[in-house]
């Protein structure tokens, strides 16, 4: 349920600006932003302007990119500058990337020089990399400090920082030496040197590392943030846990969509324009229509067999469907296991052997289930054709489903492109050839 | 790649205990645990015993449940008690739940009374709820303290706590009043009362709240941890961000597996026993075999039509496949959108209208693509049958795919049960009836 609907249910009148303003003032910034996202930009602006500067900045940071963009157009320039100066550096850089040249030109002169440089630097990194999601709001400490001096230094830096729970220890050239937890600083006696409190050889990621990798490391090592270093080993930013959880969720959604050959729909399914939904889905559907022509061609070859035994057609959807189903199962397990890092390229041969065994068991079970039905609808010959085809189709379907994600991964495609519909279509063609070949061999 | 393989690649000899021990001593606890998970329990125990107590405890906490269980059998009792006392309270309760009665009886007397009670309390919550993943390692503060007193109090409590970055403010009955950030305490002048620094009305979850809900809240509000309260409003634990990220990842994997009708395989696909993989997959495959009998029955009805126009069979896989593909696309979008909370039951009628429109566009496009092929392989009549069937099949398939997750959700089933293979099978039956009915009507 959207924030708007929830509030309407609570009896909040959307035309009563005073009531709305009171709600926004009391709400968590996340919920306030969810409301403003659903209003007209002018109404959102008026509500935003009625808040304290802190709350304004926080709410603005949680708004959808589209809403931020719309507000950037209609907010007073001085107010926009004020809000942007206070934003987290990563959110700010994202906003900058969405603005037009004119808007940027209007905004930038109002900002301090350090902020302008920070924005340009952060905004320059390629989408999908550590650089694109990192923030520069982290605290650093020199190796020569004591615990007391370090706390004093953090106290000075803290108001601007997204987190000071872990501070990064750097040398004179900003090379990353290690990190120290605020908890450790507070517990230590005041004169302890940082060098004694620091955890050395901190976990870090490179600027150009894919964001899924970064998220996986944050999840694996249970850390609040991970430092980002450039090719010279200098600390240039950190990626925080809240960005990691967003990446994990977005990645899973993207893979899920791809796997149903539905394209990756970045925005909400509820709000995406009809044409976007059409465009994302039609490409694969038409590709699959043409791929299916091979099934048709396969059937055409066996037209004589079919004309002689029309009963065979009755089992056709079952045979080809079963190959596709077993194939999608195999593919799903592999796509997700590759995505979470549970299996890797090297495991392929072991997994192939295991899948062969599992598929053989599945195929035999399904053949046993279907044999009596073949006998009931046809005769002993049909039963034999159907059950033999079932074993082979399930075996081959599983192998295709299991192997295709690996092949795609090896070719540096996303394994999730080995979608269920694609595998079902390949399994169809293969199933038809197997089924009617066996039928022709046995029945004629 | 497993830690073991990575190390073998690095030339580390798995029989050289000294080299292994050096690796474990220097490695991050996560990586050390990943190695021990792959060794024989006796070897793992020997390596573990060679570490410092801190490192032992940390490594032990990251081991798989199976490995922890195996080690619990063969570690000296005094050592096990020592490690368990130092573990995070949530990990400890998980371990307790995996032990046999005998093991519990051996372990518990060695622990302090407070620890025993803590374990029993945490271990008693139902799987999948906030209670089952919460920890009791959080810090609390009284409302009457000043900033300096609060820091002193945290300093005393801190060594035992998983996090002190946010401390929870409670009244005399442990009712949750709010929370205060360590950052705020450090920045404040020493005599500031907690009441002035505290954020009131803290976000919280109930003990029995499903863990996906908890994870979603942590992600939505970008918090490090969320407090858990019982029915009287008393603070009983917190759930931390690292558990939330694990829940988000596990949920996505489970939905993904369900959606391919592959069952939810809790363990690693690489390590799951063959029979487990077989068992998880065969159920749905056999159900689908029987569901497919309806397709067969449908075809049997139209045997005369087929005998007269064998060319119709050529387009059968295409028609039924297209309905299934469009249906899985629709279902995927809905299943994932329902899982992430992007859409809710109330949105159903709006989405139905949108899906009808998108499906009509998709169907017409695909009909246009397929009509010339129908003409080429058959005649004008076949072209008409094929393209008309295509529009209807895509329309109906999409509607089924889009509606089934909502229906399941309404009936309190997991929407992901509306799996791609299930929808493909339903679409098959429907497609056959539509296709041959239209053919019979037009061609005879």
Residue-wise pLDDT for A317-336, tens only, equals 999 889 988 998 888 888 88
Domains defined for chain B, CATH in brackets: 3-124 (1.25.60.10), 140-250 (3.10.580.10), 274-443 (1.10.357.20)
Selecting from B28, B332, B432 the residue whose C-beta is nearest the C-beta of A317 gives B432
Q: Which residues of B touch A340 (CB under 8 A)?
A: 249, 253
Query: Would an 8 Å CB–CB cutoff place A329 in contact with chain B?
Result: yes
Contact of A379 with A371, CB cutoff 8 Å = no
CA dist., res. A185 & res. B302, Å (int): 81
Two structure tokens written together for B229: 């309260």
pTM: 0.76
Number of CB pairs, chain A paired with chain B, less than 8 A apart:
343
Q: Which residues of B touch A333 (CB under 8 A)?
A: 257, 260, 262, 265, 269, 277
Backbone phi, psi, residue A264, to 5°? -100, 110
Residue A1 has pLDDT above 60, yes or no: no
Backbone phi, psi, residue A262, to 5°? -105, 10
Q: What is the DSSP track for B130-190? A: HHHH-BS---EEETT-BHHHHHHHHHHHGGG-S--SEEEEE-TT-BEEEEEEHHHHHHS-T
Would you call B265 helix, strand, or coil by DSSP? coil
Contact of B326 with B401, CB cutoff 8 Å = yes
Average pLDDT over residues B112-120: 86
Helix H or strand E encompassing A404: helix A380-410
Q: Which residues of A touch B28 (CB under 8 A)?
A: 203, 221
Nearest to A365 by CA among B261, B258, B283, B274: B283
Nearest to A186 by CA among B187, B154, B189, B88: B154
Q: What is the pLDDT of residue A275?
A: 84
Rg of chain B on CA atoms, in Å: 30
Q: What is the mean pLDDT of chain A?
A: 85
Q: What is the mean pLDDT of chain B?
A: 85
Contact of B207 with B129, CB cutoff 8 Å = yes
Q: Which residues of B touch A253 (CB under 8 A)?
A: 252, 336, 340
Residue-wise pLDDT for A260-311, tens only, equals 777 666 666 777 788 888 888 888 888 888 888 888 888 889 988 888 888 8
Residue A111 has pLDDT above 60, yes or no: yes
Residue-wise pLDDT for B65-109, tens only, equals 888 888 988 888 888 888 888 888 888 888 888 888 888 888 888
Q: What is the pLDDT of residue B124?
A: 83
Query: Would an 8 Å CB–CB cutoff place A259 in contact with chain B?
Result: yes
Query: Would an 8 Å CB–CB cutoff place B420 in contact with chain A?
Result: yes
Contact of A97 with A70, CB cutoff 8 Å = no
The strand ranges marked E within A321-426 are none
Residue B391 has pLDDT above 90, yes or no: yes
Distance from CA of A18 to the nearest CA of B (A): 22
Torsion angle of alpha carbons A411, A415, A416, A422, nearest 10°? Answer: 70
Separation in Å, CA B294 to CA A37, B391, B421 = 48, 22, 15
CA dist., res. B62 & res. B44, Å (int): 13
Two structure tokens written together for A305: 């067999």
Inter-chain residue contact B259 with A255, CB threshold 8 Å: no
Residue B352 has pLDDT above 90, yes or no: no
Nearest to A86 by CA among A64, A107, A115, A62: A115
Q: What is the pLDDT of residue B45?
A: 92
Looking at the DSSP bridge assignments, the partners of residue A175 are: A234
Two structure tokens written together for A65: 């990119």
Two structure tokens written together for A21: 């303003």
Q: What is the pLDDT of residue B12?
A: 67
Distance from CA of B346 to the nearest CA of A (A): 7
CA dist., res. B197 & res. B179, Å (int): 9
Q: What is the DSSP track for B26-51? A: HS-HHHHHHHHTTS-HHHHHHHHHTS
Q: Which residues of A touch B30 (CB under 8 A)?
A: 220-222
Query: Would an 8 Å CB–CB cutoff place A354 in contact with chain B?
Result: yes
What percent of chain A stands above pLDDT 70?
Answer: 93
Contact of B177 with B198, CB cutoff 8 Å = yes
Inter-chain residue contact B424 with A329, CB threshold 8 Å: no
Q: What is the pLDDT of residue B1?
A: 40
Q: Where does residue A196 rank: exposed (0-12), middle (13-18), buried (19+ CB within 10 A)?
A: exposed
Average pLDDT over residues A5-15: 63
Two structure tokens written together for B442: 């037009």
CA dist., res. B90 & res. B161, Å (int): 12
Query: Would an 8 Å CB–CB cutoff place A315 in contact with chain B?
Result: yes
What percent of chain B stands above pLDDT 70?
Answer: 93
Residue-wise pLDDT for A324-373, tens only, equals 889 988 888 888 888 877 777 777 788 888 888 999 999 999 999 999 98
Query: Would an 8 Å CB–CB cutoff place B8 in contact with chain A?
Result: no
Q: Which residues of B touch A249 (CB under 8 A)?
A: 219, 248, 252, 340
Q: Where does residue A104 rank: exposed (0-12), middle (13-18), buried (19+ CB within 10 A)?
A: middle
Sorted by sequence, the CB contacts under 8 Å of residue B288 that are 6+ apart come out as A321, A322, A325, B261, B421, B422, B425
Inter-chain residue contact B262 with A332, CB threshold 8 Å: yes
Residue-wise pLDDT for A371-430, tens only, equals 998 898 888 999 999 999 999 999 999 999 988 888 888 888 777 776 888 888 888 899
- Best probe of the B interface among A217, A257, A260, A415, by most B CBs < 10 A, is A260
Distance from CA of B109 to the nearest CA of A (A): 31
Sorted by sequence, the CB contacts under 8 Å of residue B38 that are 6+ apart come out as B2, B3, B4
Selecting from B154, B269, B289 the residue whose C-beta is nearest the C-beta of A370 gives B289
Nearest to B133 by CA among B90, B87, B164: B90
How far does CA B442 lie from the centroid of its chain?
50
Selecting from A281, A394, A428 the residue whose C-beta is nearest the C-beta of B329 gives A281
Query: Would an 8 Å CB–CB cutoff place A67 in contact with chain B?
Result: no
Residue B5 has pLDDT above 60, yes or no: no
Residue B439 has pLDDT above 60, yes or no: yes
CA dist., res. B88 & res. B290, Å (int): 49
Contact of B326 with B394, CB cutoff 8 Å = yes
Selecting from A164, A295, A333 the residue whose C-beta is nearest the C-beta of B265 gives A333
CA dist., res. A368 & res. B415, Å (int): 31
**Strand A225-229 versus strand A205-206 pairing type:** parallel
- Best probe of the B interface among A192, A219, A249, A426, by most B CBs < 10 A, is A249
The strand ranges marked E within B186-241 are 199-200, 205-206, 225-229, 235-240
Sorted by sequence, the CB contacts under 8 Å of residue A292 that are 6+ apart come out as A425, A428, A429, B317, B318, B321, B322
Inter-chain residue contact B329 with A303, CB threshold 8 Å: no
- Best probe of the A interface among B201, B256, B261, by most A CBs < 10 A, is B256
Interior CA angle at B169 toward B168 and B174, to 5°? 100
Q: What's the sign of the alpha-carbon dihedral B56, B57, B62, B68? A: positive
Inter-chain residue contact B256 with A332, CB threshold 8 Å: yes
Inter-chain residue contact A307 with B303, CB threshold 8 Å: no
Inter-chain residue contact B370 with A260, CB threshold 8 Å: no
- Best probe of the A interface among B217, B249, B342, B394, by most A CBs < 10 A, is B249
Contact of B250 with B214, CB cutoff 8 Å = no
Sorted by sequence, the CB contacts under 8 Å of residue A185 that are 6+ apart come out as A147, A150, A151, A154, A167, A197
Residue A217 has pLDDT above 80, yes or no: yes
Inter-chain residue contact B159 with A187, CB threshold 8 Å: yes
Sorted by sequence, the CB contacts under 8 Å of residue A359 that are 6+ apart come out as A326, A330, A394, A395, A397, A398, A399
Contact of B204 with B160, CB cutoff 8 Å = no
Q: Where does residue B411 rank: exposed (0-12), middle (13-18), buried (19+ CB within 10 A)?
A: exposed
Selecting from B219, B314, B325 the residue whose C-beta is nearest the C-beta of A421 gives B325
CA dist., res. B221 & res. B226, Å (int): 10
Helix H or strand E encompassing A239: strand A235-240
CA dist., res. B213 & res. B247, Å (int): 10
Q: What's the sign of the alpha-carbon dihedral A239, A240, A245, A249? A: negative
Average pLDDT over residues A91-95: 86
CA dist., res. A27 & res. A44, Å (int): 15
């Amino acid at each position: 349920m959207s924030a708007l609907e929830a509030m309407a249910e609570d009896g909040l009148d959307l035309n009563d600006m005073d009531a709305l303003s009171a709600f926004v003032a009391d709400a968590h910034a996340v919920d306030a932003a969810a409301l403003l996202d659903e209003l007209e930009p002018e109404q959102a602006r008026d509500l935003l302007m009625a808040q304290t500067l802190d709350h304004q900045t926080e709410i603005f940071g949680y708004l959808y990119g589209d809403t931020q963009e719309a507000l950037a157009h209609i907010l007073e320039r001085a107010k926009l500058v004020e809000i942007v100066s206070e934003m987290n550096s990563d959110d700010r850089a994202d906003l900058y990337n969405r603005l037009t040249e004119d808007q940027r030109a209007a905004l930038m002169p109002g900002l301090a020089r350090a902020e302008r440089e920070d924005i340009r630097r952060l905004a320059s990194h390629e989408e999908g990399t550590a650089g694109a999601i990192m923030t520069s709001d982290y605290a650093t400490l020199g190796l020569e400090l004591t615990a007391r001096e370090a706390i004093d230094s953090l106290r000075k830096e803290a108001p601007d920082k997204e987190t000071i729970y872990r501070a990064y220890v750097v040398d004179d050239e900003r090379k990353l030496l290690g990190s120290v937890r605020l908890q450790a600083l507070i517990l230590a006696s005041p004169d302890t040197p940082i060098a004694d409190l620091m955890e050395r050889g901190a976990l870090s990621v490179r600027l150009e590392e894919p964001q899924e990798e970064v998220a996986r490391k944050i999840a694996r090592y249970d850390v609040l943030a991970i430092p980002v270093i450039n090719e010279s080993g200098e600390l240039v930013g950190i990626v925080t846990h809240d960005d990691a959880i967003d990446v994990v969720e977005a990645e899973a959604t993207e893979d899920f969509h791809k796997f149903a050959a539905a394209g990756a729909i970045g925005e909400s399914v509820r709000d995406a324009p009809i044409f976007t939904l059409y465009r994302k889905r039609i490409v694969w559907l038409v590709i699959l229509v043409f791929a299916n022509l091979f099934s048709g061609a396969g059937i055409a070859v066996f037209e004589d067999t079919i004309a002689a035994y029309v009963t065979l057609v009755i089992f056709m959807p079952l045979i080809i469907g079963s190959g596709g189903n077993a194939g999608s199962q195999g593919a799903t397990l592999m796509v997700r296991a590759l995505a979470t890092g549970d299996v890797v390229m090297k495991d392929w041969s072991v997994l192939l052997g295991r899948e062969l065994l599992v598929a053989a068991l599945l195929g035999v079970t399904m053949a046993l289930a279907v044999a009596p039905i073949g006998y009931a609808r046809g005769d002993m010959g049909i039963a034999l054709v159907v059950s033999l085809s079932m074993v082979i189709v399930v075996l081959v379907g599983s192998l295709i489903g299991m192997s295709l994600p690996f092949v795609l991964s090896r070719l540096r495609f996303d394994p999730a492109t080995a979608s269920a519909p694609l595998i079902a279509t390949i399994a169809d063609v293969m199933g038809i050839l197997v089924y009617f070949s066996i039928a022709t061999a046995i029945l004629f």
